[in-house]
Amino acid sequence: MIAALVAVPDAAQSTPPPAPASARPSLTTGLVVVASVAYPLVVWLCLGRVSPRWVALGLAGLALARAALARERFWIAPAVATALLAAASGWFDGWTPLKLHPVVVSLTLLAVFAASLRRGPTAIERLARLREPQLPPHAVAYTRRVTQAWCVFFAANAAIAAGLALWADSAAWALWNGLLSYVAMGLLMLVEWLVRRRVRARMALAGGAHG
């Protein structure tokens, strides 16, 4: 889920970003993605071996890097929330604030997708238009339903991540946030792809019948 914060919302802007002048921004973004994906595993490996304060410093650095790469002021809010978690972990020398970081990620993505439902175009519609700029009305309606499905997913993932951070053991927390949440995301993408194929086939048949 953490990598999605780097990749999905930025790609879902109204217009594609300009091509970078060099490969450095892409390399920096890639490093942030790798660090984000590896974060649950890093926390789990550091338990009992490293002080939470050191991991908190790394989390604060990750938040600053993500905010620096963002092109919208919106990303300042999750960066501040992440920095506060890091500060709390450093102050109390505890792991729980660090474990709540995936909750911030899921809630941020929920906010992005939910806001796109209200203001339009939806996040999924923007992504779809990168491949197919001229979407028919039924496709726009479909992307809205898919965006709603992702909102449900992000809300559920935030609740699960919070419950595991507060009441489960560290192994269960790392397993969900480092692996199973990505599996769940992949399953949702697979189901959506299968449904999309059926919708396309049905619309093609309807178009042929009318023709």
The structure tokens listed for 169 are: 């053991």
Q: Confidence class of residue 207 from pLDDT cuts 50, 70 and 90?
A: low
Could you tell me the residue range of the domain that residue 205 belongs to?
2-210
DSSP letter for each residue of 175-207: HIIIIIHHHHHHHHHHHHHHHHHHHHHHHHHHH
The pLDDT score that the predictor gives to residue 27 is 62
The pLDDT score that the predictor gives to residue 14 is 42
Find, among 73, 77, 66, the residue nearest to 37 by Cα. Answer: 66
Q: Confidence class of residue 123 from pLDDT cuts 50, 70 and 90?
A: very high
Higher local confidence (pLDDT), 60 or 35: 60
- Helices 101-119 & 2-11, crossing angle to 10 degrees? 20
Looking at the structure of the chain, the number of domains it has is 1
- Res. 185: pLDDT tops 80: yes
- Res. 204: pLDDT tops 60: yes
Find, among 140, 106, 137, 102, the residue nearest to 123 by Cα. Answer: 140
